[in-house]
Structure 1
Amino acid sequence: MSVTTPDAPQEVPAASAAATLRPGSLGTADIAFFVVSAAAPLTVMAGVAPLAILLGGIGAPVGYLLAGLTLAVFAVGFTTMSRHVKSGGAFYAFITRGLGRPVGIGAALLALVGYNGMEIGVYGLLGTATQDTVHALLGTDIPWLPVSLAGLLLIGYGGYRSIDFGAKVLGVLLVAETGILVLLAAGVLLKGGAHGLSAASLAPGNVLVPGTAAVLAFAFAAFTGFESTVIYRREARDPERTVPRATYLAVGFLGLFYAFVVWTVVQAFGDEEVVRAAAEDPGGLFFSAITTYVGGWAADLMHVFIVTSVLASLLAFHNAINRYGLALAEEGVLPRALGRVHPRHRSPYVAGIAQTVLGVAVVLAFRAAGADPYGQLLLWVNTPGMIGLLLLQLLAAIAVPCYFRRVRHQEGALRTVLAPLAATALLATAIVLVVTHIDLFTGASSTVNTVLVLVAPAVFLLGLPLAAWLRHRRPDAYAGFAAEPSGSVEAAEPTPPAEPAETARPAELP
């Protein structure tokens, strides 16, 4: 009695509070699981890496290393700013604090559209990947729509449950999908590849080829969503440490792992033969390699794990979207109902339900139009989302030095100026590469590609009149946009003057 009685009253305020996400639920590994799972390593490798090899030749592994290094440079300023800005709005909060509220509100809309695009389009991939797996294993053809709808319900349930439940699920699925790739790599290394192991992929003559630009475009897309570590700071244990660690862990792992796996597949076929094999059957390249070096049973497992890889990516993005929706509802930009948190699971369940309903509507609309689930639902919805997230990264990189110019701090110039400026130049280059090679992502006409490219900047620009409307019609919501949560301490530095300087500055934002 004496043990249970004190606990009961504590649940009442938790259930009735406006925001009751469960603090201290996630450690470094948990947050990294969300980020790496969102990237879907197995799906990226088996589904996209063969195209990178086809276009860039045996130097393709270096493209993934270069993309990882670029995002690691971006992470320097990004994680430094995360110690100062505690808002749950992540990207849009950072951008608001550095570039002002109008730009931040445009970024908030862009984040919503970008993350939703990255998730909803993947339900088309879930349908086609499951079709391929069932056909490969059982020789049976199934319709894609019921699979996609079932996936929507399953992911909706996963987002409804507690965040630690999601972390456990993602941990298991991530081990499965990375494990099968490690098994492939081990088989190739143990057998010495097709003609012995070679470091020719690293030779400058094989890296500096015309196709490398296309490889870099694919490589940057393969990291999409890594920055979502900051979204989970309200549920992280010791967020000042776990969030930066999870960010660097995710970027470092993905960059090295992608490059290593692509290199081992090059070794599996040989430097001279791998491009020809990728041209003949890009979708079967990884399955052929694992069948040869491990066995047919491993190829069957890879088929199954591609489906679970897609599910893991969907759950990771779903959780990120829900928390963006929660943050914007708390800001007063979205309906307040979306800010409700489940009293037991401590999840933003209303935002999750709304996101699931939106997903169902989009999937059914594409089906009613007779669209292809892969070539149109996936690629046409995913592509604007990918461009939107790259634009958010660019804006965040620009925001870092602008923010630190206006506050007192003890951070070094490397973290607050040099690294963010370098990241700005590198990310701008990445966006140019993606846009100029957009046809490789979509396979669509120039008219469709133009529309897909313009979606992200158009959404961002819509935020500017919305900001003006909020400023005049809802000044309280505008003034409190991207403000620090009550009771938070903004500055992480031990220097006493840092706190009042930072808490005073947000009120001066335009």
Structure 2
Amino acid sequence: MSATTEVRAGSAPDLRPGTLGTADIAFFVVSAAAPLTVMAGVAPIAIVLGGIGAPAGYLLAGITLAIFAVGFTTMSRNVRSGGAFYAYITRGLGKPVGMGAALLAMIGYNGMEIGVYGLLGTATADTAHALWGIDIPWLPVSLAGLLLIWWGGFRSIDFGAKVLGVLLVAETGILLLLAGGVLIKGGASGIGLGSFAPEHVLVPGTAAVLAFAFSAFTGFESTVIYRREARDPSRTIPRATYIAVGFLGLFYAFIVWTVIQAFGDEAVVAAAGDDPGGLFFTAITTYVGGWAADLMHVFIVTSILASLLAFHNAINRYGLALSEEGVLPKALATVHPRHRSPYVAGIAQTVLGAVVVLGFAAAGADPYTQLLLWVNTPGMIGLMALMLLAAVAVPCYFRRVSHREGRMRTVVAPVAAAVLLVVAIWLVVSKVALFTGASPLVNTVLVVLVPAVFLVGIGLALWLRRTRPEAYAGFATEPNE
């Protein structure tokens, strides 16, 4: 998502320039995060692995990204690109590293999206059983979801934003209703803050919680994607970034903490382990009522669809940008004349998703513990590595250009963020078996895939520099370059 992604006439989304304020952009980022999917669909596993200290993992991820945002948003004031991380990485670390980052982003977002089709299948099957007592296989649901998400992306970004708005209000409301019921009734054994005590936070399982927590912020870079549509980018983007990160970090931690109170510190880990998919539904049935659990069943499916649509649109924009810049086949840059959507890129992404989903189904894989967690793992690590590269790029960029920014923003904060991200990535990689439950061979493949893709991107850049210098020169350039 370089400058070419959003700025070139004819390929830009149908949001009009200068129409989005701080709240609008923050809304897009929070919508992409799909809070109910993160909470009811994934947070129970975080509790199983991290214990009652799981809420702290979400806070730690939020704090790390808030520090990262200091340098990131400072750079956004000085780089007019409407692009995301790889455009910034290119500015700071050069085109080869930037192209490696671009491919890393493609793998990261594809991994995060395609794996969620497994969650869509299991969550829909659970909903059908809970509401109507019928059992449906997960594969047809996942394939139908692929077609539905393709159609949503085909209809345009503006259409997707309207859908996301409705779903965000519904899913946030049901989670707050659950939290209110727990707090009003005092939980299972009183309200306590044991989740934030050091002896519950500084445990090996916290590394696995960090993996879930960072994946919950995957819409983070969306703030700069909307630079072209922002009314006052130098002010709007930083504000929207801090609001989105602050809200998500606090909201995730708060909801997980209230669910822990619903069962009690002594019982919640066992409850989550016995029935991770039903943890939130049991809590809301107990503290609010069965009608609320029925609503939550419906909303978790719609929340997953919202998450998938946000990922799909982000991937399409990357495909559009890289094809316009000559890195990917030019056909992917084709924009629908009516809907103004990169529909060929959308078709390609949908076909890739179908191949992966069908491959896992043919192998008899579990849609949750294997399709979701295995495919998400390289995606999540890849996006964390992308943020690390972006943090390193900030001081490198400001060393080469004249500016009026302070050292706190251009050196101290980004270096601190880079250190924190290195620690987080190391913790996740070293404890990846807790996250995937897979064999050492599978875990090695999932982890090694990330640096392998990055190196392929660097190799592609060097090949383009030698064989197609015009494509290499135009990569991630700004409009006046």
TM-score range, shorter chain: over 0.9
Of residues 12, 16, 21, the one that matches 2:13 is 21
1:74-95 per-residue CA deviation (whole Å, 9 max, x = no partner) reads 1111111122223344111111
Q: Using a 3 Å threshold, how does the CA distance of structure 1 residues 102 and 132 change in structure 2: closer, same or farther?
A: same
Q: Which amino acid aligns with 2:241?
A: T
Supply the distance in 2 between the matched residues of 1:188 and 1:370 (Cα, whole angstroms).
Answer: 39
Q: What is the TM-score normalised by the length of structure 2?
A: 0.93
Tell me, yes or no, if the aligned pair for 2:42 and 2:212 is still in contact at 8 Å: yes
Tell me whether 1:385 sits opposite 2:399 in the alignment.
no
The residue number in structure 2 matching 1:355 is 349
1:114-138 per-residue CA deviation (whole Å, 9 max, x = no partner) reads 1111111211211111111111111
Tell me, yes or no, if the aligned pair for 1:119 and 1:314 is still in contact at 8 Å: yes
Supply the distance in 2 between the matched residues of 1:437 and 1:21 (Cα, whole angstroms).
Answer: 40
Tell me, yes or no, if the aligned pair for 2:115 and 2:371 is still in contact at 8 Å: yes
Alignment of 1:105-504 (within 5 A): 105-486=99-480
The residue number in structure 2 matching 1:6 is none
Alignment of 1:81-120 (within 5 A): 81-120=75-114
Displacement of 1:361 in angstroms is 2.6
Tell me, yes or no, if the aligned pair for 2:208 and 2:435 is still in contact at 8 Å: no
Tell me, yes or no, if the aligned pair for 2:175 and 2:255 is still in contact at 8 Å: yes
Q: Using a 3 Å threshold, how does the CA distance of structure 1 residues 210 and 105 change in structure 2: closer, same or farther?
A: closer
The residue number in structure 2 matching 1:497 is none
Tell me, yes or no, if the aligned pair for 1:18 and 1:340 is still in contact at 8 Å: no
Q: Which amino acid aligns with 1:397?
A: A
Q: Which amino acid aligns with 1:428?
A: V
Supply the distance in 2 between the matched residues of 1:330 and 1:86 (Cα, whole angstroms).
Answer: 18
Displacement of 1:207 in angstroms is 2.9
Supply the distance in 2 between the matched residues of 1:389 and 1:93 (Cα, whole angstroms).
Answer: 15
Tell me, yes or no, if the aligned pair for 1:62 and 1:207 is still in contact at 8 Å: yes
Q: What is the root-mean-square deviation in Å for CA atoms of aligned residues?
A: 2.0
Displacement of 1:210 in angstroms is 4.2
Number of equivalenced pairs: 472
Where do 5+ consecutive residues of structure 1 fail to align? 1-15, 487-502, 504-510
**What SS does the corresponding residue of 1:409 show, helix, strand or coil?**
coil
Supply the distance in 2 between the matched residues of 1:211 and 1:117 (Cα, whole angstroms).
Answer: 23
1:371-425 per-residue CA deviation (whole Å, 9 max, x = no partner) reads 3322332222211111110110000000000001001111111111111000000
Tell me whether 1:43 sits opposite 2:37 in the alignment.
yes
Supply the distance in 2 between the matched residues of 1:115 and 1:357 (Cα, whole angstroms).
Answer: 15
**What SS does the corresponding residue of 2:352 show, helix, strand or coil?**
helix
Q: Which amino acid aligns with 1:51?
A: I
Supply the distance in 2 between the matched residues of 1:48 and 1:209 (Cα, whole angstroms).
Answer: 19
Q: Which amino acid aligns with 2:447?
A: V
Rg larger for = 1
Supply the distance in 2 between the matched residues of 1:471 and 1:402 (Cα, whole angstroms).
Answer: 22
Q: Which amino acid aligns with 2:279?
A: L
Q: Using a 3 Å threshold, how does the CA distance of structure 1 residues 17 and 212 change in structure 2: closer, same or farther?
A: closer
Q: Using a 3 Å threshold, how does the CA distance of structure 1 residues 302 and 58 change in structure 2: closer, same or farther?
A: same
Supply the distance in 1 between the matched residues of 2:338 and 2:230 (Cα, whole angstroms).
Answer: 18
Supply the distance in 1 between the matched residues of 2:29 and 2:269 (Cα, whole angstroms).
Answer: 31
Tell me, yes or no, if the aligned pair for 1:37 and 1:309 is still in contact at 8 Å: no
1:279-314 per-residue CA deviation (whole Å, 9 max, x = no partner) reads 333332211111110001111111111111110000
Supply the distance in 2 between the matched residues of 1:340 and 1:229 (Cα, whole angstroms).
Answer: 25
Tell me, yes or no, if the aligned pair for 1:124 and 1:374 is still in contact at 8 Å: yes
Q: Using a 3 Å threshold, how does the CA distance of structure 1 residues 393 and 154 change in structure 2: closer, same or farther?
A: same
- Answer with 86-95 or 204-213: which moved more: 204-213
Tell me, yes or no, if the aligned pair for 2:26 and 2:244 is still in contact at 8 Å: yes
Supply the distance in 2 between the matched residues of 1:70 and 1:361 (Cα, whole angstroms).
Answer: 35
**What SS does the corresponding residue of 1:141 show, helix, strand or coil?**
coil
Q: What is the TM-score normalised by the length of structure 1?
A: 0.88
Q: Using a 3 Å threshold, how does the CA distance of structure 1 residues 242 and 166 change in structure 2: closer, same or farther?
A: farther
Supply the distance in 1 between the matched residues of 2:417 and 2:380 (Cα, whole angstroms).
Answer: 18
The residue number in structure 2 matching 1:8 is none
Tell me, yes or no, if the aligned pair for 1:35 and 1:316 is still in contact at 8 Å: no
Supply the distance in 1 between the matched residues of 2:448 and 2:381 (Cα, whole angstroms).
Answer: 9
Displacement of 1:316 in angstroms is 0.5
Tell me, yes or no, if the aligned pair for 2:41 and 2:300 is still in contact at 8 Å: no
Q: Using a 3 Å threshold, how does the CA distance of structure 1 residues 212 and 377 change in structure 2: closer, same or farther?
A: closer
Q: Which amino acid aligns with 1:19?
A: S
Displacement of 1:431 in angstroms is 0.5
The residue number in structure 1 matching 2:55 is 61
**What SS does the corresponding residue of 2:192 show, helix, strand or coil?**
coil
Supply the distance in 1 between the matched residues of 2:265 and 2:466 (Cα, whole angstroms).
Answer: 63
1:229-257 per-residue CA deviation (whole Å, 9 max, x = no partner) reads 22232344433333322222221111000
Q: Using a 3 Å threshold, how does the CA distance of structure 1 residues 56 and 112 change in structure 2: closer, same or farther?
A: closer
Q: Which amino acid aligns with 2:450?
A: A
Displacement of 1:217 in angstroms is 3.2
